[in-house]
Chains A and B, each alone.
Chain A
Amino acid sequence: MRISYAWIFNKRFKMLKQKCLQAIWQCSALIVLASLLAFSINYLRNERLHLFGNWAPEARLMDSSGKRLDISLPEAKKLFLQQSVVFIDARPQDDYEKGHIKRALCLPWNEVDRNFMEVTEDISPDTPIITYCDGETCELSHNLAIFLLDMGFSNVRILKNGWALWKEEDLPIESGSSTAGQG
């Protein structure tokens, strides 16, 4: 057999090409296999995930009956000045103590089961409540609002990215745990 550099490289190139083609069809087959398995398992699941979910901001901030839960900053400010609303901070207690909306109560989402009764005992079920946390993608206020609705409070709204917006507008804030309703 005649061997030359060209022969070796040619052979290697051919084999590499063959292997790459093999890898490409295997990748496609893996994706198809995974999709089929995933869809079948999702179909058999009790709580199915919709294949094409509605992720528009309005849809995400709705309760189960389709009512919008979010509230705009001017509206929240108006209610705050009328003193007719209770703000509830859903962030962890450390963040609350560093600074929060004036007169806001502290009910961290991760300790909601423990502190819920204590924090909400003075609030009547039809009192307007606004939950807030910090950041565009923060889910804490949304989770807390759904939880409060489930617990029987009828007028719960969410101020999305509330803490950041409130600070930007230079609206009244305070720090410490004085109005936390808990230790």
Chain B
Amino acid sequence: MERRRSSHRIRQFDCRTRLIRLIRIEYFQWSPLVGPTEKMDKKRTHLSRFLYYGARWILGGVFIYASYDKILHPAAFSKIIYNYQILPDGLINLTALVLPMLELIMGIFFWVGFWMPGSVMLSNILLVSYIGALILNLARGLDINCGCFSMSSGSSINVETILWDAAFLSLSVYLTVAVFGSENSRVLKQIHG
């Protein structure tokens, strides 16, 4: 009876280790793990936490900085949106009003860590659409003001602005993996009871 129990425990332990290893292998090694894995690999967890908070602060700062001038000058921003020639006329002013406020709120939420899944998803959607709009207008050959951070006429769209947006998008995608992938560690916790 005793022998059967111990062999059962060994089998169970073996099974758990294999599953945990499986999850860890398929998981990004720099993603922020919590729970049992924190004990397993402290160094990696520290690094991933540093990256997670770093990405949140940088992206939050970028969104808040980008919203500032747009909130102060909505009329200038609406002209810039019009020049992109993507949105229908009826949506231009609405976008010029709502988009900067959305960026401000998202930036603040990134900083305080509130509603992270929603903020991260929205930042992905926004950044992808910004990059799409920039590429479209570069391909069209329109020399227009970017309107990314400042409403002044000196910042026209070019490849550099697209690369900057791509860098911010990569931060946002990293945060998505971190926020949505953190479910793995919850599953691990449940396995360990």
Give residues in A with beta carbon < 8 Å to B. Answer: 1, 3, 5, 8, 11-12, 15-16, 19-20, 22-27, 29-31, 33-35, 37-39, 41-42, 45, 47, 49-56, 110, 135-137, 139
Contact of B119 among A30, A42, A47, A52 (CB under 8 A): A30
Cβ of B19 and Cβ of A5 under 8 Å apart? yes
Cβ of A37 and Cβ of B96 under 8 Å apart? no
Cβ of B75 and Cβ of A47 under 8 Å apart? yes
B100 within 8 A of A: yes
Give residues in B with beta carbon < 8 Å to A. Answer: 15-16, 19, 22-23, 71, 74-75, 78-79, 82-83, 85, 89-90, 92-94, 96-98, 100-102, 104-106, 109, 115, 117-122, 125, 142-144, 153, 179-180, 183-184, 186-187, 190-191, 193
Given A19-B183, A137-B142, do A11 and B190 touch, yes or no (CB 8 Å)? Answer: yes
Distance from A163 Cβ to chain B, minimum over Cβ atoms (Å): 13
Closest to B125 in A: A27
Contact of A26 among B85, B97, B119 (CB under 8 A): B119
Cβ of A3 and Cβ of B142 under 8 Å apart? no
Q: How far is the CA of A8 from the CA of B188 in the complex (A)?
A: 9
Cβ of B98 and Cβ of A12 under 8 Å apart? no
Cβ of A3 and Cβ of B101 under 8 Å apart? no
| CB-defined A-B contacts under 8 Å, sample of 9 | A1-B191, A11-B187, A20-B117, A20-B180, A30-B105, A31-B122, A41-B101, A56-B89, A139-B83
Q: A27-B118, A27-B121 are in contact. List 12 more A-B contacts (CB 8 A).
A: A26-B121, A30-B102, A30-B122, A31-B122, A33-B105, A34-B101, A34-B105, A37-B101, A38-B97, A38-B101, A42-B74, A49-B97
Q: How far is the CA of A15 from the CA of B186 in the complex (A)?
A: 9
Interface of A is mostly: helix
Cβ of A42 and Cβ of B118 under 8 Å apart? no
Q: How far is the CA of A116 from the CA of B75 in the complex (A)?
A: 25
The 10 lowest CB-CB distance pairs between A and B, nearest first, are A26-B118, A23-B117, A34-B102, A55-B89, A38-B101, A15-B183, A34-B101, A137-B83, A53-B93, A38-B97
Given A1-B193, A31-B98, A35-B98, do A53 and B92 touch, yes or no (CB 8 Å)? Answer: yes
Distance from B110 Cβ to chain A, minimum over Cβ atoms (Å): 12
B residues near A56, Cβ cutoff 8 Å: 89
Cβ of A16 and Cβ of B74 under 8 Å apart? no
Cβ of A38 and Cβ of B100 under 8 Å apart? yes
Distance from B127 Cβ to chain A, minimum over Cβ atoms (Å): 14
Distance from A62 Cβ to chain B, minimum over Cβ atoms (Å): 15
Closest to A13 in B: B183
Q: How far is the CA of A49 from the CA of B78 in the complex (A)?
A: 9
Contact of A12 among B75, B89, B187 (CB under 8 A): B187
